[in-house]
Chain A
Amino acid sequence: MAEQGSSHAGSSGHSHLGRYAGVWLALCVFTVLTYSVSRVHLPSPWHITVALLIAIAKGSLVALFFMHLWDQRGANRLVFATSLVFVALLIGLTVADNATRFPLANPPGSAGALPLGGSAGEPPGIDGR
């Protein structure tokens, strides 16, 4: 029993109810917070930054305490951490690619330039530059 007891989701014996209730309260508070912050119209980059930071805080609470990563062995943490690395690569590189594009023309701005990302959809060079 003692040996098997330690194999529970980190919950060896003592109750986690207090912790769960605290996490649930924090998640509700964060949800109200992110909703009210979105009503205040923050300037462009801060709007999404604050919303995402709050989402990351909430996600961490769920993963660490509801999903018990906090008191789990290395292997499971590693699997999840690895998936997060690939999340960062997939989103980061894809968006960075689009964010760093420039019109391909030599000299810059001459005819035949491909449109910048913002005006995608127009065929190249139609803006008559």
Chain B
Amino acid sequence: MQASPLAHHFESLEKQTHAARLGMWLFLATEVLLFTALFAAYGVYRFLYPEGFAQASRSIETWIGFVNTLILVTSSFTVAMGLDAATRGNGRRTALLFAVSVLLALAFLGLKAVEYSHHFQEGQLPGRFYTFEGVQAPGASLFFALYFLITGLHAIHVIIGMTVLIVIGTRAGLGAYSAEYHVPVELAGLYWHLVDLIWIFVFPLIYLI
């Protein structure tokens, strides 16, 4: 490490770490509320159109959501292991474990793409683009509007998280962090766990209902 990671306006590395962590948690809180707005919309329309939502939810492939949940949970586990390696100064191991997480995230997005293309073929689309014959109950097109909003916003977060993991993982592999200083690894991990946390709630609400 060439320069000290301690910025001049902080008294000690410990205080700087706490400030960084608190800042990240504040950001994560805003992310939680962003998704909460969509979940609230989901709650209202599910209440107004229970039958349409139940039928629409049954018409999508549950196993894809199920496998994707296992994939994301596992990627969270490898990210946690990567942080553990970083706390012991093993940057190469961190890079390897983050790379595994990125591959799992790619698998997640791949399955999502399969799912989306299926919806497009079937006409399971929001609003007036809804042409699916299988479910004609009122509210089904609203279900798919919320489906695409929630899973789409989540997929954008997966892509951002992957980018963060790639950047931080590469830096860790090049030896940018040490056992004493690895806050970026920790914060990247926090972001990835949040993406996992949100999916844990998306899965039952969209797929299992």
Contacts and interface: CB of A to CB of B under 8 A. Distances in A.
Contact of A90 (B40, B66, B204): B40
A4 B14 CA distance: 6
Contacts of B77: 20-21, 23-24, 27, 66
Contact of A76 (B22, B204, B209): B22
Interface in B1-59: 12-14, 17-18, 21-22, 25-26, 28-30, 32-33, 36-37, 39-40, 43-44, 47-48, 50
Interface in B62-116: 62, 66, 69-70, 73-74, 76-77, 79-81, 83-84, 87-88
Interface in B161-209: 180-182, 186, 189-190, 193-194, 196-197, 200-201, 203-205, 207-209
B138 interface: yes
A102 interface: no
Interface string A59-93: 10011011100001101100110111011001100
Given A35-B66, A67-B193, A79-B25, A51 B204 contact: yes
B73 A27 contact: yes
Contact of B33 (A52, A62, A87): A87
A93 to B, nearest CB: 9
B66 A62 contact: no
Contact of A35 (B25, B43, B62): B62
Contact of B84 (A20, A31, A73): A20
Contacts of A73: 18
B70 A28 contact: yes
A105 interface: no
B43 A91 contact: yes
Contacts of B44: 94-95, 98
Given A91-B36, A98-B47, A34 B22 contact: no
> Mostly helix, strand, loop or mixed at chain A's interface?
helix
Contacts of A79: 22, 25-26, 29
A10 to B, nearest CB: 10
Given A79-B26, A79-B29, A24 B74 contact: yes
A36 B16 CA distance: 46
Interface of B: 12-14, 17-18, 21-22, 25-26, 28-30, 32-33, 36-37, 39-40, 43-44, 47-48, 50, 62, 66, 69-70, 73-74, 76-77, 79-81, 83-84, 87-88, 138, 180-182, 186, 189-190, 193-194, 196-197, 200-201, 203-205, 207-209
Interface of A: 1, 3-9, 11, 15-17, 20-21, 23-24, 27-28, 31, 34-35, 38, 47-48, 51-52, 54-55, 58-59, 62-63, 65-67, 72-73, 75-76, 79-80, 82-84, 86-87, 90-91, 94-95, 98-99, 117-118, 120-121
